[in-house]
C-alpha cells in the first residue's frame, strides 16, 4: 500500500496559499466543512436523481390514465350511428398544438389507419427512439416511456403501448404531454434542496465551530499556562485538564522541574570551578609578589603577575559565558528593564559627578528582558560605562519594544554618546575579545565582547553605529515581552 503524502489535505493547501501554518482549530473546521460539502453534493445528486425519477413516474401515471381511457373507448361497441368514437374527454387534447396529444396507429398499417387528437392539428407524433425505448424498459404490462420532440418543437414526455384487439388487429396507442411540467418541478425541487442544504450547512458550520472551540478549550488553557511560565508569572502549569490533556501538563511540569534542577547543578558546578581556580591563581600572584620583593633584577615575577591576570580575566570571561549559556535556556527567567537602567544611571552619575555629563533616559513602560537580571545589568552596564568614559557632555539611553520578522517581541536598547566615536572599519575590532582601541583608557578590552556574547546566547545581537549625538551608538537587541502594545518597527 502506498503511503499518504504529508501535507496533501485541505488545511495544508490553505497553509500554502496563505503563507502560514494553519492552527489545529482551522484544520478541524476546514476538514469538517470540506467533508460536509462533499456529503451534501453527493446527497443532493442522489436526492435529485430519486426525485426526478419519481416526478417522471408520476407524470407517466397521468398519461397512463389517458392511455387506459383510449383503450377502453376502442374496446367499446360502436354507437347507434355505427361510428366508433374515440377520445379522452380532456379539452387540452382538442386545443391545437397544446402539447397534449394522443395517437392510435395500426401496426403495419398505412396512413389511413392513423387516428390522432385534434391538438396534433394534422401532424404525427414521432416514434420513441429505439435506444430510449430500451433505456425506458418495458413496464406496466408493456408500456414504454421516453422523450421526443413534438410538432411544435416542444419536448414531450411520451408513453406507448401495443394492444391486440383480435380480429381488428394490433394498434400502437401513444399519449404525450409537455415535458415542461416535469422540468419545472425538477427545478423547483433543486432550489428547495439547495436552500435546505445551505441552511443545514450553515447550522453545521456553526455547530462545528462551537464544538471545536469547546473541545480545544483545554489546549487553549494549557497554552495560556505555558505562556505564564515563560513570562515568569508562574513557576508551574496550573489548572485541571481532561484526562487526554492532563498527562501532557504533568509531563511539562516534570520537564520544568528537571530543567531547573539541571540549571541549579550547572550554577553550582560553575561556582565550584571558579573557587577552585581562583585560589591557585591567588597563591601564584602572592608568590610572584614575594619573589619580586627580593629583587634580583629578574623580570620573571612581573611576567607571572601579568600572565596570572590574563588567566584570571579569561577564567572569569568563560565562567560568565557558561553561566549565561545555562541561564539563557531557563524557563520563567525575566527581568524588568527600567529598574536596571535607572539604577546603573544613578551609579554612573555618582562615579562621574565631576564631569557634568547630562543623561537622557527614555524607557518604555512594561519592558521585561527574557533572561537573568544580572546578565541584563552586565550588558547595559558595559555599554553605559563606555558611553560615560568617552562622552564629553551628553549620554542618551533609550529602550523600547519592536516586533521582528517572525512576530516575536524584541527589546531594543540604544546607548548614545557625544564622544569622538569610532570609524566604521573599527566597529568589528571594538567587539573583538581583549581588543583595546585606546590603551590610555582603563579596562581589559572584554566589555563589548562580553556584551556581544551574552546577547548572542540569548538570541539577540549587538550593533555599533554612528550616533546622532556625534559619537558612538551601541544598539542592543534582546528577546523580551512588553505589557503594552508593540510599537511599529
Of 432, 407, 464, nearest in space to 19 by CA: 407
Four-residue CA torsion sign, 46, 48, 52, 55: positive
Of 260, 270, 268, nearest in space to 331 by CA: 260
Same structural domain, 263 and 174: no
- Cα angle, residue 149 at apex, residues 147 and 152 outer, rounded to 5°: 140
Same structural domain, 147 and 272: no
State the burial class of residue 216 (Cβ atoms within 10 Å of its Cβ: 0-12, 13-18, 19+).
middle
Beta strands (DSSP E) in 128-181 are: 144-149, 155-164, 170-178
Contact 401, 482 (CB under 8 A): yes
Same structural domain, 348 and 455: yes
What is the model's pTM? 0.50
Is the model's pLDDT at 14 over the cut of 80? no
7-21, 121-135, 186-200, 345-359: which range is least confident on average? 7-21
According to DSSP, residue 240 is labeled -
Of residues 255 and 432, the one with the higher pLDDT is 255
Is the model's pLDDT at 287 over the cut of 80? no
Instruction: Report pLDDT for 59.
Output: 92
Same structural domain, 83 and 177: yes
Contact 266, 326 (CB under 8 A): yes
Same structural domain, 149 and 274: no
Of 446, 347, 469, nearest in space to 398 by CA: 469
Same structural domain, 307 and 369: no
| Range with the largest mean pLDDT of 9-23, 182-196, 230-244, 428-442 | 182-196
What is the arithmetic mean of pLDDT over 74-101? 71
Contact 445, 436 (CB under 8 A): yes
Instruction: Report pLDDT for 322.
Output: 62
Of residues 67 and 483, the one with the higher pLDDT is 67
Does 26 fall in a domain? no
Contact 396, 469 (CB under 8 A): yes
Instruction: Report pLDDT for 414.
Output: 92
Same structural domain, 396 and 361: yes
Does 385 fall in a domain? yes
pLDDT tens-digit profile of 422-451? 887 777 777 765 454 444 444 444 568 778
Which residue carries 512576530 as its cell? 407
Query: Distance between CA atoms of 196 and 199, rounded to whole angstroms?
Result: 5
Same structural domain, 261 and 357: no
Which residue carries 541549579 as its cell? 264
The last residue of one of the domains, among 302, 325, 348, is 325
Same structural domain, 372 and 313: no
Does 32 fall in a domain? no
The Cβ of residue 295 has, within 10 Å, a number of other Cβ atoms equal to: 8
Could you give the number of structural domains in the chain? 3
Of residues 178 and 428, the one with the higher pLDDT is 178
Is the model's pLDDT at 415 over the cut of 90? yes
Instruction: Report pLDDT for 6.
Output: 45
Is the model's pLDDT at 261 over the cut of 90? no
Instruction: Report pLDDT for 485.
Output: 44
Does 169 fall in a domain? yes
Instruction: Report pLDDT for 325.
Output: 56
Of residues 95 and 18, the one with the higher pLDDT is 95
pLDDT tens-digit profile of 304-317? 777 777 777 667 66
Same structural domain, 375 and 427: yes
Does 301 fall in a domain? yes
Instruction: Report pLDDT for 49.
Output: 93
Q: Which domain holds residue 137?
A: 79-182
The Cβ of residue 440 has, within 10 Å, a number of other Cβ atoms equal to: 5
**Mean pLDDT of the chain, nearest integer:** 78
The last residue of one of the domains, among 159, 182, 205, is 182
3-state secondary structure of 134: helix
**212 CB-near residues (< 8 Å, 6+ apart):** 25, 28, 29, 32
Is the model's pLDDT at 480 over the cut of 90? no
Measured in degrees and rounded to the nearest 5, phi and psi for residue 176 equal -135, 150
Q: What is the CATH number of the domain that holds 89?
A: 3.30.450
What is the arithmetic mean of pLDDT over 1-27? 56
**425 CB-near residues (< 8 Å, 6+ apart):** none
Contact 449, 433 (CB under 8 A): yes
Contact 144, 161 (CB under 8 A): yes
| β-sheet bridge partners, residue 145 | 159
Same structural domain, 354 and 408: yes
Of 262, 215, 261, nearest in space to 241 by CA: 215
Instruction: Report pLDDT for 351.
Output: 87
3-state secondary structure of 128: coil
Contact 188, 133 (CB under 8 A): no
The last residue of one of the domains, among 325, 354, 383, is 325
Does 71 fall in a domain? no
Does 382 fall in a domain? yes
Does 43 fall in a domain? no
CA-based R_g, the chain, Å? 47
Instruction: Report pLDDT for 317.
Output: 64
Same structural domain, 462 and 343: yes
Contact 304, 284 (CB under 8 A): yes
Q: What is the CATH number of the domain that holds 424?
A: 3.30.565.10
| β-sheet bridge partners, residue 444 | none
96-100, 104-108, 173-177: which range is least confident on average? 104-108
Amino acid at each position: 500500500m502506498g503511503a499518504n503524502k504529508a501535507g496533501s489535505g485541505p488545511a495544508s493547501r490553505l497553509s500554502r496559499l496563505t503563507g502560514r501554518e494553519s492552527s489545529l482549530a482551522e484544520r478541524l473546521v476546514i476538514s469538517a466543512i470540506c467533508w460536509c460539502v462533499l456529503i451534501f453534493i453527493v446527497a443532493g445528486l442522489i436526492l435529485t436523481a430519486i426525485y426526478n425519477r419519481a416526478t417522471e413516474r408520476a407524470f407517466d401515471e397521468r398519461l397512463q390514465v389517458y392511455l387506459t381511457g383510449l383503450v377502453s373507448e376502442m374496446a367499446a361497441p360502436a354507437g347507434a350511428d355505427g361510428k366508433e368514437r374515440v377520445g379522452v374527454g380532456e379539452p387540452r387534447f382538442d386545443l391545437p398544438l397544446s402539447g397534449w396529444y394522443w395517437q392510435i396507429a395500426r401496426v403495419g398499417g398505412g396512413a389511413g389507419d392513423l387516428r390522432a387528437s385534434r391538438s396534433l392539428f394534422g401532424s404525427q407524433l414521432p416514434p420513441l427512439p429505439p435506444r430510449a425505448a430500451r433505456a425506458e424498459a418495458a413496464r406496466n404490462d408493456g408500456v414504454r416511456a421516453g422523450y421526443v420532440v413534438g410538432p411544435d418543437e416542444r419536448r414531450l414526455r411520451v408513453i406507448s403501448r401495443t394492444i391486440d384487439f383480435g380480429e381488428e388487429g394490433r394498434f400502437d396507442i401513444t399519449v404525450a404531454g409537455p415535458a415542461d411540467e416535469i422540468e419545472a418541478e425538477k427545478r423547483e425541487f433543486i432550489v428547495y434542496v439547495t436552500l435546505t442544504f445551505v441552511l443545514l450547512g450553515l447550522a453545521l458550520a456553526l455547530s462545528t465551530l462551537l464544538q471545536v472551540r469547546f473541545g480545544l478549550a483545554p489546549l487553549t488553557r494549557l497554552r495560556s499556562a505555558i505562556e505564564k511560565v515563560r513570562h515568569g508569572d508562574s513557576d508551574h502549569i496550573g489548572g485541571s485538564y481532561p484526562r487526554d490533556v492532563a498527562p501532557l501538563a504533568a509531563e511539562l511540569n516534570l520537564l520544568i522541574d528537571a530543567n531547573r534542577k539541571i540549571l541549579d547543578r550547572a550554577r553550582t558546578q560553575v561556582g565550584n570551578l571558579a573557587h577552585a581556580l581562583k585560589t591557585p591563581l591567588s597563591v601564584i600572584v602572592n608568590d610572584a609578589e614575594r619573589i619580586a620583593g627580593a629583587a634580583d633584577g629578574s623580570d620573571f615575577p612581573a611576567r607571572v603577575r601579568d600572565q596570572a591576570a590574563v588567566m584570571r580575566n579569561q577564567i572569569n570571561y568563560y565562567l560568565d559565558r557558561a553561566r549565561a549559556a545555562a541561564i539563557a535556556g531557563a524557563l520563567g527567567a525575566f527581568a524588568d528593564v527600567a529598574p536596571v537602567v535607572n539604577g546603573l544611571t544613578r551609579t554612573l552619575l555618582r562615579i562621574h559627578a565631576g564631569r557634568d555629563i547630562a543623561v537622557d533616559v527614555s524607557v518604555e513602560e512594561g519592558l521585561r528582558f527574557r533572561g537573568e537580571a544580572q546578565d541584563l545589568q552586565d550588558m547595559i552596564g558595559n555599554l553605559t560605562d563606555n558611553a560615560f568614559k568617552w562622552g564629553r557632555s551628553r549620554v542618551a539611553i533609550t529602550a523600547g519594544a519592536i516586533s521582528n520578522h517572525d512576530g516575536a517581541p524584541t527589546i531594543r536598547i540604544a546607548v548614545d554618546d557625544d564622544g569622538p566615536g569610532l570609524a566604521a572599519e573599527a566597529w568589528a575590532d571594538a567587539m573583538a575579545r581583549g581588543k583595546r582601541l585606546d590603551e590610555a583608557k582603563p579596562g581589559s578590552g572584554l566589555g563589548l565582547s562580553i556584551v556581544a556574547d551574552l546577547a548572542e546566547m540569548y538570541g539577540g545581537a549587538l550593533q555599533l553605529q554612528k550616533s546622532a549625538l556625534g559619537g558612538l551608538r551601541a544598539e542592543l537587541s534582546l528577546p523580551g515581552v512588553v505589557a503594552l502594545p508593540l510599537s511599529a518597527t
